[in-house]
Amino acid sequence: MTLTQQLVTIALCVLATLITRFLPFLVFSNKRPTPAFVRYLGDVLPGAIFGMLIVYCLKDVQLLSGSHGLPEALALGATVLLHLWKKNLLLSMAVGTLCYMTMIHFVF
């Protein structure tokens, strides 16, 4: 690939990203009132999106081979339990991540 072709490739990635990020804001502009269904989606989508993102992060876990997703399951369990108990965002994340790193380094 020449330098120009590389720059075009990168520019197309930028353009595609800008389109997906700006489109909703362009379609439903500041001036017109947002349709009720879209406002409804705006209210209920966050809950659905975080569920989607958790699965997205775990998509490479192999349940049938390797460590069978045990480190992920245990570390997530620790994160959730600690968060329900202490309700401290940073603490839950730090302990969950350390649990995970310890397990993949020393246990699995």
Partner 1 sequence: MKKRALRAAFPHTVPVMTGYLFLGAAYGMYLRASGFSFWYPLLMAVTIFGGSLEFLAVSLLLAPFAPLATFFMALLIQARHLFYGVAMLEKYKGLGWLRPYLIFGLTDETFSVAATAEPPANVDRGWFLFFITLLDHSYWVTGALLGNLAGSLIPFDLAGLDFVMTAMFTVIFLEQWKKDRQHLSACVGLLCTLASLLIFGRDSFLLPAMGGILALLALLRKPIQKAGEAP
If one asks whether residue 41 binds partner 1 (CB under 8 A), the answer comes out as: yes
Instruction: Tell me the site size for partner 1, rule CB under 8 A.
Output: 66
If one asks whether residue 86 binds partner 1 (CB under 8 A), the answer comes out as: no
Residue choice 68, 85, 86, 93 for contact with partner 1 (CB under 8 A)? 93
Q: Which is nearer to partner 1, 38 or 66 (CB)?
A: 38
Residue choice 32, 33, 64, 89 for contact with partner 1 (CB under 8 A)? 89
CB distance 70 to 91 below 8 Å? no
How many angstroms separate the CA atoms of 59 and 77, rounded? 17
Tell me the backbone φ, ψ of residue 44, rounded to 5 degrees: -100, -15
Helix-, strand-, coil-residue percentages of the chain, each rounded to 5: 75, 0, 25
Q: 10 Å Cβ neighbour count for 92?
A: 19
If one asks whether residue 24 binds partner 1 (CB under 8 A), the answer comes out as: yes
What binding mask, one character per residue, do residues 53-82 give for partner 1 by CB under 8 A, x or -? xxxxxxxx-----------x--xx--xx--
